[in-house]
Amino acid sequence: MSRKVIISGGGTGGHIYPAIAIATALQQKDPDLEVLFVGALGKMEMEKVPRAGYNIVGLPIAGIKRALSIDNLVLPFKLLNSLLKAKKVINDFGPDVAVGVGGFASGPLLMMASLAGIPTLIQEQNSYAGITNKFLGKKAAKICVAYPEMQRFFPQEKIVLLGNPVRSDIVDVASKNKEALVHFGLKPDRKTLFVMGGSLGARSINESIHAGLDQIIGAGYQVLWQTGRSYIDTAQTAITELGTNRVKAFDFIYTMDLAYAVADVVVSRAGALSVSELCLAAKPSILVPFPAASEDHQTKNALTLVEQEAAWMIKDSDAKQNLVQKALELLGDIGKQESLKSNIRKLAKPTAADDIAAEVLKLIR
């Protein structure tokens, strides 16, 4: 009889791709193991997880709107409905372990798994734990974390420091540089600025790059720009108006290994997945934390690197004034690039997915 694992969570690529990496590592260790994902209806995991080859069930859960909204009035009903559906999913699938990676769906699923006596494991990706994970941590059998000092949020005896799981194809991006240049249509004799705002894009980063695009091109550089779906048309219009072939814009980049391979400097949000991938790819980076992230965790993630002299950070509110200037400064300073590369590489955890998968399998009775 095959072993079964439910993995719950999502909402952004920062939750989804680590979850997929854990699932892949689990099936490499046990090819007969069955994995079922549980996500939130309408969120990107409902598209990305099936694309990766896994089945997913959606819960009608949603987050609290920060502004006054009529949507908040129906949240209790959505939560109750999600708890009932999570219970049915657990009863139907019969998991040996339930894993939560963060995001709306992990709360109801792990809560019902705990009530059913199924061991649960939390994978906390950030340096500052969110409210849901702090609550779920009280009942969890194991809590895998990516940053030290997490006993502030969880019972010390449950914590294992393993890092964040990332896609294995990012481990050796240097060898893919030539392939990456051809793939994106970029020139080998120009330095490349890779701009990404997370899986959903980032308005302040996009607007800053847009405003300074002529400066970047004028300085002799080229740009690979992941805009997110909402900004791609604006970006393409700007590129056409500039009349340049040295800016390649995409709403979403699936071949992230090739994007890192081509990058000399990266501008990025400071979500947990992005930070972990930058460590593994060892790329000189300028981080612009998303200020509305829960508990301002992106700023805390970024400061962890800044304190190790492993990245630069610019506040979101300062991006329009300073981002392009700092990007040009870093692109022109080989010595600083090498220093940041050396320091960020020390923070990488290349075996995180395998190590977390091993912890999951230990919980199966």
Q: pLDDT tens for residues 104-113?
A: 788 999 999 9
Average pLDDT, integer, range 241-267: 95
Q: Check whether 317 is labelled as a binding-site residue.
A: no
What pLDDT does residue 129 have?
86
Same domain? For 30 and 151 the reply is yes
pLDDT at 10: 80
12 is annotated as contributing to ligand binding: yes
**310 labelled binding-site residue:** no
Give the range of the structural domain holding residue 306, as residue numbers without chain letter: 169-345
Both 197 and 273 in a single domain? yes
Question: Looking at per-residue confidence, does 333 or 229 come out higher?
Answer: 333
**Do residue 192 and residue 157 come from a single domain?**
no
Q: Is 19 annotated as a binding residue?
A: no
Q: Is 277 annotated as a binding residue?
A: yes
How far apart are alpha carbons 342 and 200 in whole angstroms?
A: 29
Please list the alpha-helical segments (H only) found in the chain. 13-29, 45-51, 75-93, 106-115, 131-137, 177-184, 203-218, 232-242, 256-262, 272-281, 297-306, 319-331, 334-345, 352-362
> Which residues contact residue 103 at a Cβ distance below 8 angstroms, ignoring those fewer than 6 apart?
8, 9, 10, 11, 12, 15, 39, 40, 43, 45
Is 339 annotated as belonging to a binding site?
no
Q: Is 127 annotated as a binding residue?
A: no
Query: Are 37 and 109 members of one domain?
Result: yes
Is 330 assigned to a binding site?
no
10 Å Cβ neighbour count for 92? 9
> pTM for the full model?
0.82
Q: Are residues 10 and 158 in the same domain?
A: yes
How many domains does the chain contain in total? 2
Q: Is 180 annotated as a binding residue?
A: no
Question: Is 306 in contact with 312 (CB distance < 8 Å)?
Answer: yes
186, 176 in Cβ contact below 8 A? no
- The CATH number of residue 278's host domain is 3.40.50.2000
212 and 314 co-located in one domain: yes
276 labelled binding-site residue: yes
Mean pLDDT over each residue of the chain, to the nearest integer: 91
273 is in an annotated binding site: yes
**203 labeled part of a ligand binding site:** no
What number is the average pLDDT over the span 325-337?
98
How many whole angstroms separate alpha carbon 148 and alpha carbon 338? 25
